[in-house]
Each structure stands twice: as C-alpha cells, then as structure tokens.
C-alpha cells in the first residue's frame, strides 16, 4: 500500500482521536476493516490496524446475513504483536487492557473519514457498471481496454458492501491510479444509491434489466429494478445506456450515450453476420470488425459495445480497443472455458439464475447444449423466474439435467420444461454434435477450491 495510513495522519484527520501504548511515528501496511483475500498475500506479522467493527441488526440494511462483533476476537488477537486495534466506546478500556489501540468516537465515522481522505488524495476517475447480469465481465473488459492508456484499479467483489469497498479503497488505491472500474451491485433497493454516495461514478454503464433479486424487500417488478439502479446514472456525469431496453433508455439524459443491437444510429451499434461481429462506433465515426471474440452471445456483444463507448469517450485508439477485446479472457473463475474430451466447454459455476442462463441461450452459435449438473439458487426467488428459466431452456437445442433425486425434486417443484434427465453414463454422450456447450454447476466455487472435482466428474 503506497498510501500508508500512519498515526500522524489519523491525528490530523480524526476528531478527538486518542492513542494508547503507541509510538508517535508508527505506520501500517494493512487497515483491516473487512477482510479481503488480498490480505492473505502479505507476510505474517505485517503491521495492521484492526478495526473492531460490529453489526447488530444486519437485516435492516441487508448488507450482511448475520450479526457480528469483532471485539469478540480480542482475546485471541491480543497475542499478535503486529496488530493495533481501532475501537469506539462500544469496546471498554478493560477489554483493551494492555493492548495497543486507537480510540475513536464512532468507528463507522472514522472509517468514512479515512476513506474520503484517501479518495481525495488520489481523486481517480470512476467507471461504474450496473445491470442484472454481466456486470463482472463488463467491468473486467472495460478495465482491460482502459489499462492500455491509464493506470487502472479494479475493485472486485461478488457482493460489494460499504465495509469491503472502504477496505479496498483505503488499502489498495494507489497514488498513481487514474481510473477505478467497479460493478455496483445490489441486494436491497437502496444499496446502489448508498454505494454511489460513497464512491461517485464519473461514467456509469447500465447493461440490462432482468428478473434477478425479485421478491426481496422493495424489489417486486422490473420497474423497481430500474428505479434502484437508476441512481447510478443520476449520480454520474455521463451515462452509457442500453438503448434496446425501454426501461433503461427512459433514463437517458441530454449528454448520455447509447449502445444498441437494433438502432444503427446509436452511438455504438453492434451487429453480427454469423462469422464477423462489427462494432460501429458512431460516436467517433469508426467501425471495428471482430473475427474472433471470447464468446458469441448477445450479452457479450452489449458488453463489447459498452466498452467501446467508454474507451472512445476516454480517448483510447480503436486499434487498442480491437486488440484488447480480441484477446480478452475474464480473470474470474465463475464462468470460463475448459477443455474436456477434446471439446471446448463453457463452465458456469455461479449461482443458478435465469438471467445468466437466458444470456447464454441467446447466442450466435449454430447449435447449443446446456448441461446442468446441479442447481443452487442462492437467495433468489425462483418462483418469480420460472417463465424466464423455461424460455432460456427452450432457446438451447437441448437441455440435459443430471438424473439425481435433488434435481428431480427441483424440476418438479418449479415445473421446469424443455429439459430431459440423463444418467451419468449418458450425460456427456455425443456432446461433440453441438457447437456451443455450457456446463452449469450451481455455486461450484463455494463448494470446491479448484476445478479438480469438476474434471474428476467429467472423466469418470
């Protein structure tokens, strides 16, 4: 962390801060507000500010599933000489006896002040992406292209919260970061608005609206999703909008830009003749033909068009846009190409949601096959997505479900159609007959640390 937080900075920016058992010039490699996987790459013994945060009623805002109180870790952590604790008066002096610690009036207010200090010191341009499906890939694609010209940081989190966002910004925002790219996701209706208030986007991309998260508090219709996600556009200086979705197009302001597969006059118009995909960047009067893309789905075409607009807006040459998109491979593992039986198979190890399966079903391959090992709907309301699941299944040439009691119960419960059960011995037979093959295993990475279990299954 180049922007190390030290006691001098804390003394300057935090009101009424007090230090106990600390020297004057100590600085810290890590500010552990919320644990990030990146912290695991630091050597043991790294000097760390450990924030004793808490959440008593997580159900109110819906950021977390369970209450927590980090002061419960004190007895165990006191033995670690590299830790300096940050606490407000919820944690007593007796609990912190013999500890090295920083006393603040309100720990959440202290986190906010430190976060805003770091952001204002760097002042990066922020590109935010929202939508029901495809945010992660779009964010990664945009960051890949912008990195050709700018020093970029990408904030990645499957579910971004105020604490994880603060933790990333304070620890990994570097003085030379010119641009940050991140996805603004929600589970409750007000989440995107709260995140956008914490980190205001300069450019906001709105990809799509699908039946995801319906049924949770305040989100019962597609219009509710539009309203919840529209805040990102409202907070931004310029929006990049999918003009093919009327609910998204309805948000367009005077200077916002649009991308489309239907409107040749859009600022970015993308089309395919089956072999070549053409990106007409009308915004800069350029046409980019792609002979090869990571995947030939309509969703990826939208992601390419949005990326082309963001990149053009920020002055990236079309040659760099072409080269980066042509060679793009997503960094995350949740959806990736794998090789099995000499065949390229798209492995989908994410939550089972209709929006993503529908996006994969809408493709430009001549034939397509969906293989479902198992379902895992996470916290989604499946009943509100049944029609969308059935439509997605109907778009594939064939849908095979592994014949298990669990899968039969789910299919029966939700009346899924256009699918067939296959025993394990026949599940993967003749898959070479299909040009596009998708293997879905619900939330695979929550259950397995690598792909070994998958390959064992495929080869058995």
Residue 231, token pair as written in the block: 């805040």
In sequence order, which residues have a C-beta less than 8 Å from that of residue 182 and are 6 or more positions away?
126, 127, 128, 129, 139, 154, 155, 156, 160, 199
In sequence order, which residues have a C-beta less than 8 Å from that of residue 367 and are 6 or more positions away?
397, 433, 434, 435, 436
DSSP string, 329-367: --S-SSEEEEEETTEEEEEE-S---HHHHHHHHSB--SS
Q: Do 109 and 129 fall within a single domain?
A: no
pLDDT, tens digit (0-9, with 9 covering 90-100), for 424-456:
999 999 999 999 999 999 999 889 988 999 999
In degrees and rounded to multiples of 5, residue 347 shows phi and psi of -90, 125
Q: What is the mean pLDDT of residues 166-173?
A: 95
Confidence tier at 232 by pLDDT (50, 70, 90)? very high
Q: What is the pLDDT of residue 72?
A: 95
In degrees and rounded to multiples of 5, residue 41 shows phi and psi of -85, -10
Q: Which residue has the tokens 């299954």?
A: 457
CATH of the domain at 365: 3.90.190.20
- 119 part of a folded domain: no
DSSP string, 386-452: HHHHHHHHHHSSEEEEE--HHHHHHHHHHT--S-EEE-HHHHTTTGGG-SEEEEEETTHHHH-SSSH
> Final residue of a domain: which of 268, 293, 326?
326
Q: Do 352 and 292 fall within a single domain?
A: no
Q: Do 318 and 349 fall within a single domain?
A: no
C-alpha to C-alpha distance for 45 and 37, rounded to whole angstroms: 16
Q: Do 168 and 285 fall within a single domain?
A: yes
pLDDT, tens digit (0-9, with 9 covering 90-100), for 66-100:
999 999 999 999 999 999 999 999 999 999 999 99
- 349 part of a folded domain: yes
What is residue 456's three-state secondary structure? helix
- 149 part of a folded domain: yes
Greatest Cα pair distance, the chain, in angstroms, is: 72
Residue 332, token pair as written in the block: 């995350």
DSSP H helices in 14-100: 58-61, 74-77
Range of the structural domain that residue 23 is part of: 5-114
Q: Report how far apart, in Å, the C-alpha atoms of 67 and of each of 77, 137, 166, 183, 332 are.
A: 20, 31, 19, 25, 29
C-alpha to C-alpha distance for 20 and 297, rounded to whole angstroms: 58
* Of 14, 247, 239, 23, residue with least CA distance to 108: 14
Q: Do 297 and 157 fall within a single domain?
A: yes
Q: Report how far apart, in Å, the C-alpha atoms of 126 and of each of 4, 156, 187, 349, 413 are.
A: 22, 14, 22, 29, 44
> Final residue of a domain: which of 280, 303, 326?
326
HSE value, Cβ hemisphere, 13 Å, CA-based, for 450: 3
pLDDT, tens digit (0-9, with 9 covering 90-100), for 312-356:
999 999 999 999 999 999 877 788 999 988 899 999 999 999 989
Q: Do 100 and 208 fall within a single domain?
A: no
pLDDT, tens digit (0-9, with 9 covering 90-100), for 268-314:
999 999 889 999 999 999 999 999 999 999 999 999 999 999 999 99
Q: Do 23 and 72 fall within a single domain?
A: yes
> Final residue of a domain: which of 326, 348, 381?
326
- Which H or E element spans position 179? strand 179-183
Q: Do 339 and 216 fall within a single domain?
A: no
DSSP string, 143-181: HHHHTTTS-EEEE--SS--HHHHHHHHHHH--TT--EEE
Q: Which residue has the tokens 């430009």?
A: 364
Other beta carbons less than 10 A from residue 231's beta carbon: 22
Number of domains making up the chain: 3
pLDDT, tens digit (0-9, with 9 covering 90-100), for 57-73:
998 888 998 999 999 99
DSSP string, 61-111: H-S-SS-EEGGGGHHHHTT-TTEEEEE-TTS-TTTTTT--EEE-S-HHHHH
Q: What is the pLDDT of residue 449?
A: 86
Residue 180, token pair as written in the block: 């940050």
Q: Do 219 and 279 fall within a single domain?
A: yes
Q: Do 217 and 345 fall within a single domain?
A: no
User: Which one-letter DSSP state was computed for residue 93?
Assistant: T
Q: Do 97 and 53 fall within a single domain?
A: yes
Mean of pLDDT over the chain: 94
Q: What is the mean pLDDT of residues 36-62?
A: 93
Q: What is the pLDDT of residue 2?
A: 54
CATH of the domain at 281: 3.40.1190.10
Helices 135-146 and 298-313: angle between axes, nearest 10 degrees: 40
- 96 part of a folded domain: yes
Confidence tier at 379 by pLDDT (50, 70, 90)? confident
Residue 204, token pair as written in the block: 């906001």
Confidence tier at 177 by pLDDT (50, 70, 90)? very high
- 310 part of a folded domain: yes
Q: What is the pLDDT of residue 1?
A: 46
Q: Do 163 and 276 fall within a single domain?
A: yes
Judged against a pLDDT cut of 70, whether residue 263 lies above it is answered with: yes
Confidence tier at 215 by pLDDT (50, 70, 90)? confident
Confidence tier at 158 by pLDDT (50, 70, 90)? low
Residue 450, token pair as written in the block: 């690598």
Q: Do the Cβ atoms of 102 and 86 come closer than 8 Å?
A: yes
């Amino acid at each position: 962390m180049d922007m190390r937080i030290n006691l001098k900075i804390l003394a300057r920016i935090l009101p009424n801060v007090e230090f106990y058992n600390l020297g004057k010039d100590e600085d810290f490699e890590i500010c552990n507000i919320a644990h990030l996987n990146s912290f695991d790459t630091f050597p043991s013994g790294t000097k760390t500010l450990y924030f004793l945060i808490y959440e008593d009623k997580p159900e109110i805002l819906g950021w977390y599933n369970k209450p927590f109180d980090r002061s419960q870790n004190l007895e165990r952590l006191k033995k670690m000489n590299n830790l300096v604790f940050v606490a407000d008066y919820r944690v007593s002096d007796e609990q912190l006896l013999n500890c090295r610690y920083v006393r603040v009036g309100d720990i959440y207010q202290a986190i906010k002040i430190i976060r805003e200090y770091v952001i204002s010191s760097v002042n990066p341009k922020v590109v935010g992406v929202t939508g029901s499906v495809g945010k992660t890939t779009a964010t990664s694609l945009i960051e890949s292209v912008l990195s050709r010209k700018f020093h970029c940081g990408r904030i990645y989190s499957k579910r971004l919260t105020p604490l994880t966002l603060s933790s990333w910004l304070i620890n990994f925002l570097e003085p030379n970061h010119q641009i940050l790219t991140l996805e603004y996701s929600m589970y409750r209706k007000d989440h995107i608005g709260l995140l956008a208030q914490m980190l205001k986007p300069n450019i906001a991309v709105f990809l799509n609206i699908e039946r995801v998260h319906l049924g949770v508090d305040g989100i019962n219709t597609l219009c509710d999703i539009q309203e919840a996600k529209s805040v990102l556009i409202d907070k931004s200086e310029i929006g990049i909008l999918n003009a093919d979705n009327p609910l998204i197009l309805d948000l367009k302001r005077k200077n916002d830009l649009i991308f489309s597969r239907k409107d040749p006059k859009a600022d970015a118009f993308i089309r395919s003749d089956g072999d070549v995909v053409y990106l007409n960047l009308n915004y800069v009067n350029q046409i980019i033909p792609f002979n090869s893309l990571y995947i030939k789905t309509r969703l990826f075409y939208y992601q390419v068009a949005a990326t082309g607009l963001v990149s053009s807006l920020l002055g990236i040459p079309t040659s760099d846009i072409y080269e980066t998109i042509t060679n793009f491979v997503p960094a995350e593992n949740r959806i990736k190409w794998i090789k099995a039986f000499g065949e390229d198979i798209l492995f989908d190890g994410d939550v089972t949601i209709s929006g993503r399966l529908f996006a994969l079903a809408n493709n430009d391959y001549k034939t397509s096959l969906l293989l479902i090992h198992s379902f895992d709907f996470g916290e989604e309301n499946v009943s509100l997505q049944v029609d969308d699941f059935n439509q997605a299944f109907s778009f594939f040439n064939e849908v095979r479900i592994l014949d298990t009691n669990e899968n039969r119960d789910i299919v029966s419960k939700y009346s899924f159609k256009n699918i067939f059960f296959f025993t394990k011995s026949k599940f993967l037979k003749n898959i070479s007959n299909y040009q596009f093959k998708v293997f879905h295993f619900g939330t695979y990475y929550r259950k397995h640390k690598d792909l070994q279990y998958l390959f064992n299954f495929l080869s058995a």
